[in-house]
Amino acid sequence: MKYSCSLLCVKKHKLALSCNGVRDKTAFVSVNEFTDLNLLSDYRFLEDVGRTADAAARHCIVHSPATKRLLYFLRNKARGCNIELKTLPIGFTKRKENSTTFNSMENKFYWHLKLIFPHCHAEYTLKGVPDDKTLADILKPYIDPVESDPVVCQRLKIYTASPQSDVRILMKIENRSRNSVRYNELDASRSLLDNLKGKVIIEYPTLFVVLKTLKNDMVVLGQGEHIFINIGGENQFSVCFRSCIHR
């Protein structure tokens, strides 16, 4: 959805915005901007979803007793930790990506985890993250000015240059309508397991790391006042304060 003048320009856009070149078919479109092309796109998207689900249902791995036992085992162990873990059918991207395991000897989850840094359009995937590790320790290799990798530090410089007290960790609340998206704020000083308790997880946790001063249209559940920020460039943004009642 960006205008480009050359192949070099396209490559720079993709690198800067972590774009794979595929249009987001589920992006929000307002009623005023909705056209016949959008309707056709939605129809074809639903057809693709139907074909994918049908193909996944026919896949032999779906009916494998070993696969079913493994998923049941993970969901059961998560339930014992007061976590509602939901798994998707074979064929879905998150199901393919998920590498979460449970070590019975240690009685511990090793989570597949995704970190998203929206202010830098960056995301990182972690595998085998122990559930007793604090969120602060998980983020150190990314936003700590001393311990972070130099390449990562350069890409996330807006985070490393900010005080640690400005960093907030949010996780999307599942099973809500698309027009009522809310986030839970997590405690960086507590373990991953403690932060996941009482929550619904679809396949694996996805954490959004944001800054208080540049929070990007994310409404935190239970907070009556929140900040909407529309970023218009690296040095331009407008702030609007609103009060709302969460139901």
Higher pLDDT, 15 or 207: 207
* The two structure tokens encoding residue 53: 């689900």
If you average pLDDT over residues 99-122, what whole number do you get? Answer: 91
pTM recorded for the entire structure: 0.64
Whether 240 shows a pLDDT value over 70: the answer reads no
* The two structure tokens encoding residue 8: 């070099």
As a whole number, the mean pLDDT across the chain is: 81
If you average pLDDT over residues 103-127, what whole number do you get? Answer: 91
Cβ 204 vs Cβ 94: under 8 Å:
yes
Cβ 232 vs Cβ 169: under 8 Å:
no
Whether 83 shows a pLDDT value over 90: the answer reads yes
Residue 60: the pLDDT is 56
